[in-house]
Structure 1
Amino acid sequence: MNTADAKRILETALICSTQPLQVRELRVLFDDELGADTIKSLLAELQDDWLQRGLELVSVGSGWRFQSRPELRDHLDRLHPEKPPRYTRAVLETLAIIAYRQPVTRGDMEDIRGVTINSLIIKQLEDRNWVEVIGHRETVGRPALFATTRQFLDDLGLASLDQLPLIESPAQQGALIDALAEAAQPGLPMEEETVEAPIEPEADTDLAELPPAHSGTPS
């Protein structure tokens, strides 16, 4: 099979798929006759082929997919004017803590944020399929351990947690929260905050000292 035919098969499969496809799944298209490195090389060529088009081929947490380019979002949103749910800064800060410190318990999150975390905050993130329970800490009460999901990576357009930006200053922390807000609710402002009960002593959420969690890229 020549390169042009192989690229056309990959292109068609990715465009028609409703979910990202991993390299091992794409190899099935060729009855495993093409190796993983060859598939990745062809995908890189396809990325170049689509550089000047409205769609782009990207690698995200669940695999490879075609998606519309971010700069076209405002135009496409006019076809579907319904608005996604809005999230408070408390929800987004909690999500950032889970992303950077996972796996973490609810108690860990409360220690970092300095306030009691409403159970509805965790439920909102679980309902969005951005976080999940991956186990329990072997301590008194065996509290649940939370981590982010592949859906979280997909929605942020990341292939792995290694691509999370380093947080070295309050300004960068604010930019991260804004990025999460935009991914969760494109074009919408954050919902107004509700008053949260502080934990003594009260502390501000500070992600600057938190190194990103690490996760491998899917293949």
Structure 2
Amino acid sequence: MVEALLFASAQPMTLRELADRLPAGSDPAEALRRLRARYAGRGIELERVGDAWAFRTAADLSFLMQEQVVETRRLSRAATETLAIVAYHQPVTRAEIEEIRGVAVSRGTLDQLIETGWVRLGRRRQTPGRPVTFVVTEAFLDHFGLASTQDLPALAELRAAGLLDSRPAGLDLAGKQEATDIAPDEPGDDLFGD
């Protein structure tokens, strides 16, 4: 039954969603464990996507899907930077995003990320003005092949991949100056290259 539910579902399903559809006394966690073992090493595998589960094509067979073209929309540089900030610092407010980026975030940038389904509104902060926060979604995790935000690459991995080479030394991902030889008012490149 769990296999059928996951196969028919267009979206990953949580344990609670599975349990709600199964007969009383069923153990969806045990069913998922068995299914994951049964499908391991096959053309499709049962994968965890955040708190949910879904069948996915095995990573080593992804080359077979190259003929299927999905029209993609390129994110602007501002949207890419904003998405990275939300992913690494969530829950984060618009003001915090602007502080980290060093520039104002246009409404269109966050709207675009919400429209793609990668960012959603989080809880309001219990501070003056009660600003809304932004968090990444299960669709973001699914698209980038992450089980959770804990799987995002660490700073050392980003440096090793050459993604932070043009970043000024002494700045962490939040843009705060560390104790280094850089003068506080010395100009530098932005956090994400170029």
Same fold (TM over 0.5): yes
* TM-score under structure 2 length normalisation: 0.71
d(CA) in 2 for partners of 1:106 and 1:201? 26
Cα pair 1:113 1:203 within 8 Å, conserved: no
1:71 correspondence with 2:57: no
Amino acid at match of 1:130: W
Task: Specify which structure has the bigger relative contact order, considering alpha-carbon pairs within 8 angstroms and separated by 6 or more residues.
Answer: 1
Q: How does 1:134-213 map to 2 (within 5 A)?
A: 134-137=122-125, 142-168=130-156, 171=159, 204=189, 206=191
1:18 correspondence with 2:10: yes
Amino acid at match of 1:156: F
Cα pair 1:91 1:125 within 8 Å, conserved: yes
| Unaligned 5+ runs, structure 1 | 1-8, 177-199, 208-219
SS in 1 for 2:120: strand
Cα pair 1:115 1:202 within 8 Å, conserved: no
d(CA) in 1 for partners of 2:90 and 2:34? 35
Shift of 1:75: 2.5
Shift of 1:118: 3.0
1:91 correspondence with 2:79: yes
SS in 2 for 1:64: strand
Residue by residue over 1:1-60, the C-alpha shift from the partner in whole angstroms, topping out at 9 and shown as x without a partner, is xxxxxxxx322221122222222332345412123xxx3233222222222322110111
* Paired position in structure 2 for 1:43: 32
Cα pair 1:10 1:26 within 8 Å, conserved: yes
Shift of 1:97: 0.8
Moved over 6 A (4+): 200-203
- Identical aligned pairs, as a percentage? 36
d(CA) in 1 for partners of 2:188 and 2:90? 20
- Let me know the Cα RMSD of the aligned residues: 3.1
